[in-house]
Amino acid sequence: MRNSDFLQTDPKRIQISNLRKSYQSGKLKTEVLKGLNLDIPSASVITLMGASGSGKSTFLNILSGIDTPDSGEVLVNGNYLHLMRETELTKYRREDTGIIFQFFHLLPYLNALENVAVPLYISGIGKKEAKQIAKEALSQVGLSERMSHKPDELSGGEQQRVAIARAVCKNPSLILADEPTGNLDTKNAENVIRLLIDLQNRNGFTLFIVTHDQNLGSLGEFRLKMADGILVD
């Protein structure tokens, strides 16, 4: 079994011990994460706030398997990320995580149904099954009547709901939302947050939200703040 003395074998937790990450640019080495420690239940709504440059994005990239730590231990829903090879991290990214971005990142030449189905195709799911799963995901976010519309035919709020459907369609254990309301007006932002919280309650995944919005940050069951590469009270 691949675990350390610190990390327990409970798959229903996020446990991080002494997580460190730095980047090298020429002779300059910049330490971004400076010994993060965290232990919280997985099926939770977690919010992370902090100033630009505090390390939030780097932390998010490590939790998503996009980046790897220099040292430390990271257990997310039973996955020992710090021990995984690249092939294992690729599988983790495809099957266990969903990411929601501020600027939607929808493919402009595909309609809503096709945009949601793309990660399913990449995971090896057949076209017919992928489209059925995508239809169900779009229904969950209230877009049953907009499946054939392309991004430029949808409002900002609708585009973000397509992005949410794309993230949840794989039934991941972890949804990472990076400033999910940053590009929306107040009304659409409230609708998106209500939707995300409802989906988390319904499906039981870990919802990890990075935000600058104080109102959104206050909604977390666990409210984290990052400053200068560490988590602070």
The 10s digit of each residue's pLDDT in 49-102 is 988 888 998 999 999 999 999 999 999 988 999 999 999 999 999 889 999 988
pLDDT, tens only, 94-150: 889 999 988 888 999 999 999 999 989 988 899 999 999 999 999 989 999 999 999
Residue 127 tokens, joined: 């076209």
pLDDT in tens, 211-230: 888 888 888 899 999 999 99
Query: Rounded to the nearest 5 degrees, what angle is found at the Cα of 105, between the Cα atoms of 213 and 114?
Result: 130
Name which of 216, 214, 224, 200 is nearest 44 in CA terms: 200
Instruction: Give the C-alpha separation, 209 to 219, whole Å.
Output: 10
Enumerate the domain spans of the chain. 1-96+173-233, 102-171
Residue 9 has pLDDT above 70, yes or no: no
- The rounded distance, in Å, linking the Cα atoms of 28 and 213 is 33
The fourth-level CATH superfamily of domain 1-96+173-233 is P-loop containing nucleotide triphosphate hydrolases (3.40.50.300)
